[in-house]
Structure 1
Amino acid sequence: MAYDFNGKTAIVTGGGSGIGKAIVEELVAAGAKVLIADLNMDHAEELAANLGENARAFKVDTSKAEDVADMVQAAAEFGGTLDMLVNNAGVGGAAAPLGEYPIESWQKVIDVNLTGVFYGIRYGIPKMIETSGGGSIVNIASVLGSVGIANSGAYVAAKHGIVGMTKSAALEYGDKGIRINSVGPGFIKTPLLDENLDSDTMAYLASQHATKRLGTPEEVAKLTLFLLSEDASFITGSYHLVDGGYTAQ
């Protein structure tokens, strides 16, 4: 499905690789100006150079409120408005049972995966109201926003938190013309998965999906663009799975 985002400005956090990169590419192809917000500037700048004048790299640590505030301002200056925000940045964290979970890893996962989404909402919504009179936000959660998995308690807690925060924010800003939804990808073949799991584990995870494979970033991007678009004008506060049937069992 083709979308027309000409005249619109978007932010995608964690936009330099994986799911974020696929979303950025789809948005630019649909005419949007996109701020590629990432901690890894090599990835973000390479992608921006490949996509041309409608893409700009911006360094951000989403666990820092001041970084996110600066990111939001930079996007509005780049495009003149802020219309769309995809809170996608995330980290995996340590693999350990909660009774032994490293405190430092817990804090990092919560700071980036949950508090970072809060900062995006906190600073993004006022700018959307100011510059556009409305907008659309998609928070990238996970299938682990609705089910658990052993040895990833911090990640599961953060992703469940995103789903709940999305619902609350949607109730608060629905009458302001801002729609806020979350997406729950299954296990997607991304650098984050490659860096944290060995090939045997990834093969096992693939087998747990009804489709018997891992998903692709592009499959998540397609759903995300729909939710950002006016085709989803009556959808807010909801959680949409793109999980190859992982949670159907």
Structure 2
Amino acid sequence: MSAPVVLITGALTGIGRATALAYARDGANVVVGGRHQDKGDALVEELRREGGQGLFVKADVRHDAEVRNLVDRAVEHFGRLDVAFNNAGTEGKLAPLTGVTDETYENTFDTNVKGTLLSLKHEFRAMQTQDGGGSIINVSSVYGLVGYPGFALYVGSKHAVVGITKTAALEGARHGIRVNAVAPGYTRTEMYERATGSDAVRDAVDSVLPMGRAAVPDEIAAAVQYLGSDKASYITGRTLALDGGLLAGAPLFPNT
């Protein structure tokens, strides 16, 4: 069996980067998208050292033409598209509802929602025309499944991803395209560091998590690889929470 072709948006940091490296270690052909050429080129070199083949395409998922080019370049370079991980996202600005503005709405929803929709649009376009379809994994969040005070824009955008995932799964099923989502809980990424702001807050978060710690990006990457593989061949339209037991009943709002 030939090595799978995997496309990852938002691949230059955090969960996206960890997933790209995990696929490379398995010998995959990995296409990474992001907004910074220097970091992209460096990541491709690292992917090759890990045993995979890599291609970086500069792309901002908020712009249709750039997403189209990203997908087209992947197919032109490697011949097909087997797995796509739509990981690009932003936490936006933490603010109460009374602090929402046009700008903060657009900054969050253009990346998290529009970016996911545009990625799906062009990934479907590629996968519908090839034998075997493909597998797409969107990134939501544990807060795409519950609410969180003061974070309405982020929460709303990640709920939207869950709904979009279900609809895309129904549209893709007859074409052999599976669409699922992962919903990470607290995960030690650059976004997590920004959102928590201090070691004291991070310690408080750890104290209420059933497993006593936040996830590491490799743990999320492993779940993405599972959903993208034939081992998950009858799973579509689902959102997999990767939260260390958070939604099983632990407090959601640590006292900080």
The interval holding the TM-score normalised by the smaller chain is over 0.9
Query: Which position in structure 2 is the counterpart of 1:246?
Result: 246
After TM superposition, list the pairs within 5 Å mapping 1:5-24 onto structure 2.
6-24=2-20
Query: Which position in structure 1 is the counterpart of 2:77?
Result: 78
Match of 1:45 among 13, 21, 41: 41
After TM superposition, list the pairs within 5 Å mapping 1:168-183 onto structure 2.
168-183=167-182
Query: Which position in structure 2 is the counterpart of 1:97?
Result: 96
In the aligned structure 1, how far is the partner of 2:60 from the partner of 2:26?
Answer: 27
Please give the secondary structure, in 1, of the residue aligned with 2:128.
helix
Q: Which runs of 4+ in 1 moved over 3 A?
A: none
| Greater mean deviation of Cα atoms: 66-75 or 48-57 | 48-57
Q: Quick check: 2:83–2:135 contact (8 Å CA) kept in 1?
A: yes
Q: Quick check: 1:138–1:224 contact (8 Å CA) kept in 2?
A: yes
Which blocks of at least 5 consecutive residues in structure 2 are unaligned?
Answer: 250-256
Which blocks of at least 5 consecutive residues in structure 1 are unaligned?
Answer: none
In the aligned structure 2, how far is the partner of 1:194 from the partner of 1:110?
Answer: 21
Query: Which position in structure 2 is the counterpart of 1:232?
Result: 232
Query: Which position in structure 1 is the counterpart of 2:60?
Result: 61
TM-score (norm 2): 0.92
Query: Which position in structure 2 is the counterpart of 1:123?
Result: 122
Q: Quick check: 2:20–2:47 contact (8 Å CA) kept in 1?
A: no
Post-superposition offset of 1:7: 3.0
| Greater mean deviation of Cα atoms: 179-188 or 38-47 | 38-47
Q: Quick check: 1:9–1:79 contact (8 Å CA) kept in 2?
A: yes
Query: Which position in structure 1 is the counterpart of 2:210?
Result: 210
Amino acid aligned to 2:214: L
In the aligned structure 1, how far is the partner of 2:105 from the partner of 2:201?
Answer: 22
TM-score (norm 1): 0.94
Post-superposition offset of 1:133: 4.1
In the aligned structure 2, how far is the partner of 1:93 from the partner of 1:121?
Answer: 22
CA shift digits 1:161-219 (9 cap, x unpaired)? 00111011111111110000000100100011223321222222222321121110000
Post-superposition offset of 1:24: 0.4
In the aligned structure 1, how far is the partner of 2:10 from the partner of 2:243?
Answer: 20
Post-superposition offset of 1:80: 0.7
Post-superposition offset of 1:120: 0.7
Q: Quick check: 2:32–2:57 contact (8 Å CA) kept in 1?
A: yes
Percentage of matched positions with identical amino acids: 33
Post-superposition offset of 1:40: 2.6
Amino acid aligned to 1:50: E
Please give the secondary structure, in 1, of the residue aligned with 2:179.
strand
In the aligned structure 1, how far is the partner of 2:178 from the partner of 2:108?
Answer: 26
CA shift digits 1:109-133 (9 cap, x unpaired)? 1000111000011111110122344
Query: Which position in structure 2 is the counterpart of 1:88?
Result: 87
Please give the secondary structure, in 2, of the residue aligned with 1:193.
helix
CA shift digits 1:37-68 (9 cap, x unpaired)? 01133322211111226011111111111111
In the aligned structure 2, how far is the partner of 1:111 from the partner of 1:203?
Answer: 32
> How many residues matched?
245
In the aligned structure 2, how far is the partner of 1:215 from the partner of 1:196?
Answer: 15
Amino acid aligned to 1:23: T
After TM superposition, list the pairs within 5 Å mapping 1:103-114 onto structure 2.
103-114=102-113
| TM-aligned CA distance change 1:211 to 1:121, over 3 Å | same
Match of 2:31 among 31, 35, 45: 35
CA shift digits 1:61-117 (9 cap, x unpaired)? 111111111111011112110111100011111111012123212111100011100
